Chain A
């Protein structure tokens, strides 16, 4: 079993506020790891640091045996570390097919072509395949604005899986998705993950989803990892129940409908 991601002493402070402190996590190739914690526990901060969106205040990050701290999202994507977003990050005023076509071109590192159309027959075919796998083929010619939230999440995750990544970080894949759609969405995503043999780290609020799809769990509270281990064990832990799962979940504000900017 090879280690794919390893963080040591990873911390992030915003002024006097501790967003994440001394996070030591080792993840091996092929693991599906859940990240749980109340709002503000440091989950998204952790993901943002690992994927290069937020520079850590201190600590180290190793990916595939290389130190990656200080690298931006672009370089990390090229190294095989990608992510999806709590609020899907898509090109809202572009047809779904073009969202995929440009992402495919970028994955091939062909983003500087000026004369050849981005919609090559090969890319269109690949895009159709992805749409079919994600069960969102019916939206191919629609603008992203015409898609429901669940379909947007799937497209966002599909784009993150392009360019043969090795590891995928999912930031609350089911937030904003209705109860009925949740499992179908996760089944689709996990099937795609399995086919590609990806290592997955995913942040989730819904404990049923966590129990169903994850083998190992990291529990965050106040910026630190309070428990790390097999899912049953972590969820049964008293401290975790008290700080993470026991309380009724607070209504979320940050995961609301995406706002066009």
Chain B
């Protein structure tokens, strides 16, 4: 029984982290039909920016938790939005309308470039900014203990999830975006500035990736290559849930999160294997993921 509780708690905490990482990926794909391989690099950029900013703050004698959170948020949003803007305006814009697979390769190239850019800027020595994590302590639930910071990640993830849902379903911009998703050409004909919407979407998606990295920075040791590990997992999550669907990303994250927690607590040797096995399993029965949509071709 204890194991079940441990699996549930760990599973949902991990799922909330997965959702944070995957949300930006699925938003960009949903609107722009670009599967952004460089998403992992944005995560890494967010993590590095936050870790170094936090390091600077704590080295200067700061010890306010709220200030630390503000620093994480500000540095992640800044670097995510800026990098997103540069990638979209400087590169992707030249290639709209090309094959989805070609765009995948283009973003793979961006990933390679950013990967080294991170090394050139921050070097190869690990950064750590564990202070906020330690400061939030641990909370006992019966005999299990949970880190307060992890619970905060869970909260942030829920807030971001609802925020995205509200943005897409209840705001004017969201309505325009949904019209682009539904039929890009028609929306263009109706006077929607699709290019501007793409810029906004890509910046938001990129920022979400950077925020995920920034929030994770205090939990981990920030090392080169960190984005690479993350992107593959994010892929598994969004493909399981159905590419381009926020609900899908949430459900995919919960399924993958629980599956991984179950494997860690019962069969740890399957940890890495299980994520992709879940994805492959879902795709066998639902070729476009749980919430994915099939587009028929007109002849």
Contacts and interface: CB of A to CB of B under 8 A. Distances in A.
Interface of A: 48, 53, 85-87, 89, 254, 261
B299 interface: yes
Interface string B265-299: 00000000000000000000000000000000111
B299 A53 contact: yes
A86 B297 contact: no
A85 B297 contact: no
State the main secondary structure of chain A at its contact with B.
loop
A89 B298 CA distance: 11
A63 B146 CA distance: 69
Given A48-B299, A53-B299, 6 more contacts: A85-B299, A86-B299, A87-B299, A89-B299, A254-B298, A261-B297
A139 B297 CA distance: 28
A86 B299 CA distance: 7
8 contacts: A48-B299, A53-B299, A85-B299, A86-B299, A87-B299, A89-B299, A254-B298, A261-B297
A157 to B, nearest CB: 15
A129 B155 CA distance: 72
Contacts, number: 8
A53 B298 CA distance: 11
Interface residues of B, number: 3
Nearest to A53: B299
Nearest to B296: A54
A261 B298 CA distance: 11
Contacts of A89: 299
Contacts of B298: 254
A87 B298 CA distance: 9
Contacts of B299: 48, 53, 85-87, 89
A254 B298 CA distance: 9
Contacts of A53: 299
A198 B219 CA distance: 73
A48 B299 CA distance: 9
A171 to B, nearest CB: 8
Nearest to A86: B299
A48 B297 CA distance: 13
Nearest to A44: B299
Contacts of A87: 299
A131 to B, nearest CB: 24
Nearest to A48: B299
Nearest to B299: A85
Contacts of B297: 261
B136 to A, nearest CB: 51
Interface in B68-88: none
Contacts of A261: 297
Q: Which 8 A-B pairs have the closest CB atoms?
A: A85-B299, A89-B299, A87-B299, A254-B298, A53-B299, A261-B297, A86-B299, A48-B299
Nearest to A87: B299
A86 B298 CA distance: 10
B100 to A, nearest CB: 11
A89 B299 CA distance: 8
A178 to B, nearest CB: 23
A261 B33 CA distance: 14
Nearest to B99: A261
Interface in B3-35: none
Nearest to A171: B299
Contacts of A85: 299
B263 to A, nearest CB: 40
A15 to B, nearest CB: 14
